[in-house]
Amino acid sequence: MQPDHAEVPKALARLYYKTGKHDLAVQALNSFITSHPAAVDATHINILAELFTEVGRWAEAVSLLSRVQTELFGGQPLPADLQVKRGLALLAQRDLPAALSNLESLLAEPVEGFADLYLEVGERLAAAGHPPLALRFLAPLMEVGGGSNPVVATLLADCHEALGDRRSALDMVQALVEGLDAGHPAHAAATLRAAALHRQLGDDAAATALLESVEQVLAVQQEGAGAEEGAGAELILRRAALLHSAGRREAFLDLALPTLGATLRALEAEAERSAPDVALRRRLRWLGRRGREVGRARGPVTMLDSEGGMFRGLDGRLDRRKEHVRELDARVEELVTTAVQRDSDEEEEEGAAAGFVMRELLREEGPFALLVQAGQALHAEGRWEEARELASAALDVCGKRWAHRWKRDAVRLLAARGAIAAHDLPAALHNLRLACARWPLASQPWNSFALCMARTGKSRTALRFLIPQRHRNPTSLPLALLTGHCHMALGAWSEALSEYLHAYRMKPSEPLVLLCIASGLINQACARGVSDKEALVLQAFAFLEEYAATRLNTQESLYNLGRAAQQLGIPHVAVTYYCRALAEGVPGMGRDDMSREIAFNLMLIYRASGAAPLAADLARKYLTV
C-alpha cells in the first residue's frame, strides 16, 4: 500500500468492523502505521484505539496512545477524544488516578461540542462504582438540555440515589417526566421510578397519583391504537409492566388475562386450521396439485362448485376410489365447506379484538413474560385453579411451537404449582419430572418437586426417580440435598449423611448444607446400636457452630442449637441457647421472629423440671393471643 493511499486502510478497517472481523481491521491499520508512519493521522489512531477498546484490549490501547503522543504529537497533549479513550482504557484496568489525569482534561472543553464524550465518561464512571466522579461529568450536560434526555436524567438519578440523596434523584426524574411527552417510550418508566422514589420518601399519595395518571394515559393510547397492527399489543405490555412493577395485581390481572385468553384462542384456531392428520394433509396437497393441473388445462376452477359439491361427475360414473380415500375425501369436503364461513367468523372476531391478540407469544420475550407474570400473580392471589387452567392452555396451544425448551418448562412449573394447590399430585409430578430432568442444576424445579413429595409422603417412590437422576447429575446440589432428605424421612441416616457430605464438598459454606449434616449426625447419635455416640454429638455441634457463623439470622441459629441439645437430652445446655435466642428477638421482625417457638420449647423444659411459675411467665409473655 502506497503512502498516498491513507484513506484505504480506514475504509478497510470500517468494512472489516462491519462484518465482524476485528482482527483483520486491526491488522490493516497496524500494517499501514508501521509501513508509513509519516502518512498516519489522528483518524488512523482513533479507529485503531476504538478497535482495541471494542474487544477489551485495554493495555494495547494505552500503549498505542502513549506512543502516538510522543511520535505523532511531539509530546503535546492528545486531542480530547484520544485523551478520553486512554482514560477509559486506564479505568477499565482499574488504574483510577491515571484515568482521572486523562479524563479531567475533558472538563476544560465546552460541553456543546463534546456532549457525547461527557456522557460516555459519566456512564463509565457510574458503571465502575464512582458516582461522585460521574456527577462531575454528567452535571454539565444539564446546561445543554440534558435534563430532557432520558439517558442523562436516568444516570444522574442513579448517581444521586447511589449517594443516598433520594430527594435530588426524585427532582431529576420528576423533571424528566414533566419534560417528556406522554407518548414517549421512556415516559412510563420514568413515572414508575418517580412513584417508587415518592414511596421511599414516605409520600404514598403522590406515588399513587402518578401511577394512576400514567395508567390512564396508556389506557387512552391503547384504545386509540386498537386498530393498528401491533400498536395495541405493545401498549398492553407497557401497561402490564407498569402495573406489575407497582404491585397492583388485581388491575394487572384484569388487563393481562383477557389479552392472554384472546391470544391463546387465536393461536389455537390457527393450529386447528392446519390438518394434523398426515394422510389428510397428503390428500389436500394432492387435490391442490390436481386442481392446478386442471386449471392450466381449462381455466381457473374452484374446489367448490355452485352446488357445494367437490367431486363433480362421481355420481354419474363408477366410483373406483378405495375406502380410506373415500373417507379422506369426505373429510376434505367437510373441511373446505366450512372453511369460508369459519374464516369470515374469525376475521370478525379478530377485528373486534384488534390489538389484543399477541401472536408474538411464540417468538418474543415480552408476551411470554406477561404470561409467566400472570400465572405468578394468580398464585399470589390464591386463584390456583385459574393459574392451572392458564398454564395448561398455554402448554396445549404453544408447548410444541416454542423454539426454546426453557419456556415450556417455565410454564410447566406454573402448571405444577396449580396442580399441587388443587391436590392433583399425579399431574404435578408429570410436569415436574420433565422440568427436573432437563434442568438438574436449578433449584426452583426441585423445590416444587420436594413440596409435591411432602404432600404425598411417599419418599420411597421419590427415590426411584431421584437416584437415577443423581447418578446422571453428580454435581447437582439441590438434587443431592433432596435425595438426602428422602433418606432421612426413611430413617436411613448413613445414606442421608453420604448425600449431605457430597453436597458439602460442592458448597462447604452453605448454611443449609451444614444444618442438614448436623441434623443427620444427631439423628444417627440418637439411634440404637450406634457406637461412639459422643464423637457423633461433638461433630454435630461443630457443624452447628459453623452453621451459626455463616447464617445471618442469629435467633434462628441459636434456636437450632437449643433444639439439638433438647433432642439429645441436655436440657441445661438447651436452656442457655433458648434464653440467648429470646434475647435476640426484636419487635417487628414479623415472620422471621421465632420467639413463640422458642418460648414453647423452653416452657416444656421448665415444666418437666418442675419450674411451673417460670413456665407460666413465659406463656403469659410470649404465648398469649
Residues 361-366: contacts with CB within 8 Å, 24+ apart? 361/263, 361/264, 361/267, 361/398, 362/267, 362/398, 362/401, 362/402, 362/403, 363/403, 366/237
- Nearest CA to 463 out of 426, 443, 439, 488 is that of 488
pLDDT higher than 70, residue 305: no
Question: Distance between CA atoms of 135 and 54, rounded to whole angstroms?
Answer: 25
The per-residue pLDDT for 497 is 93
The per-residue pLDDT for 340 is 46
What does the pLDDT look like over 476-492, one tens digit per residue?
Answer: 999 999 999 999 999 99
What does the pLDDT look like over 84-99, one tens digit per residue?
Answer: 888 888 888 888 888 8
| HEC-encoded secondary structure of 320-368 | CCCHHHHHHHHHHHHHHHHHHHHHHHHHHHHHHCCCCCCHHHHCCHHHH
pLDDT higher for 226 or 391? 391
Question: Distance between CA atoms of 578 and 558, rounded to whole angstroms?
Answer: 7
What does the pLDDT look like over 329-373, one tens digit per residue?
Answer: 776 666 656 654 555 454 444 444 434 566 667 677 888 888 889
What does the pLDDT look like over 133-163, one tens digit per residue?
Answer: 988 888 888 877 766 788 888 888 889 888 8
Question: Residue for cell digits 421448665?
Answer: 606
Q: Which domain holds residue 168?
A: 7-213
The per-residue pLDDT for 467 is 92
* In-domain check, residue 97: yes
Question: Distance between CA atoms of 474 and 471, rounded to whole angstroms?
Answer: 6
End residue of a domain, out of 412, 433, 456:
456
Query: 102 and 233: one domain?
Result: no
Query: 247 and 107: one domain?
Result: no
pLDDT higher than 70, residue 438: yes
CATH of the domain at 177: 1.25.40.10
Query: 77 and 167: one domain?
Result: yes
Task: Give the list of residues 6+ apart from residue 197 with CB closer than 8 angstroms, or none.
Answer: 161, 166, 169, 170, 173
Task: Give the list of residues 6+ apart from residue 474 with CB closer than 8 angstroms, or none.
Answer: 502
pLDDT higher than 60, residue 19: yes
pLDDT higher than 70, residue 260: yes
End residue of a domain, out of 440, 456, 472:
456
Query: 368 and 414: one domain?
Result: yes
- Nearest CA to 26 out of 7, 45, 39 is that of 45
pLDDT higher for 23 or 599? 599
* In-domain check, residue 347: no
Query: 252 and 181: one domain?
Result: no
**Cβ atoms of 227 and 355 closer than 8 Å:** yes
C-alpha distances in angstroms, 590 versus 199, 382, 579? 21, 21, 19
Query: 97 and 154: one domain?
Result: yes
What does the pLDDT look like over 218-250, one tens digit per residue?
Answer: 666 556 554 444 555 666 777 777 778 777 788
**Cβ atoms of 6 and 31 closer than 8 Å:** no
Query: 97 and 204: one domain?
Result: yes
The per-residue pLDDT for 558 is 92
The per-residue pLDDT for 224 is 55
Average pLDDT of span 389-398: 85
The per-residue pLDDT for 339 is 54
Question: Distance between CA atoms of 293 and 463, rounded to whole angstroms?
Answer: 63
* In-domain check, residue 362: yes
pLDDT higher than 80, residue 168: yes
Query: 157 and 99: one domain?
Result: yes
Query: 189 and 240: one domain?
Result: no
What is the pLDDT confidence band of residue 587, given thresholds at 50, 70 and 90? Answer: low
Provide, rounded to the nearest whole percent, the portion of the chain with pLDDT above 70.
79
* In-domain check, residue 421: yes
DSSP-derived secondary structure letter, 274: S
Of 265-274, 441-450, 615-624, minimum mean pLDDT range: 265-274
Query: 99 and 125: one domain?
Result: yes
Q: Give the torsion sign (CA, 550, 556, 560, 562).
A: positive
* In-domain check, residue 321: no
pLDDT higher for 120 or 247? 120
Query: 181 and 240: one domain?
Result: no
The per-residue pLDDT for 498 is 93
Q: What angle do CA 516, 517, 520 make, to 5 degrees?
A: 85
* In-domain check, residue 475: no
* In-domain check, residue 581: no
Average pLDDT of span 394-401: 78
Q: What is the pTM of this model?
A: 0.56
End residue of a domain, out of 456, 484, 504:
456
Question: Distance between CA atoms of 389 and 449, rounded to whole angstroms?
Answer: 20
| Count: domains in the chain | 2
Question: Distance between CA atoms of 180 and 161, rounded to whole angstroms?
Answer: 21
* In-domain check, residue 391: yes
pLDDT higher than 70, residue 387: yes
The per-residue pLDDT for 320 is 65
What is the pLDDT confidence band of residue 294, given thresholds at 50, 70 and 90? Answer: very low
Query: 180 and 236: one domain?
Result: no
Task: Give the list of residues 6+ apart from residue 620 with CB closer than 8 angstroms, or none.
Answer: none
- Average model confidence (pLDDT) across the chain: 79
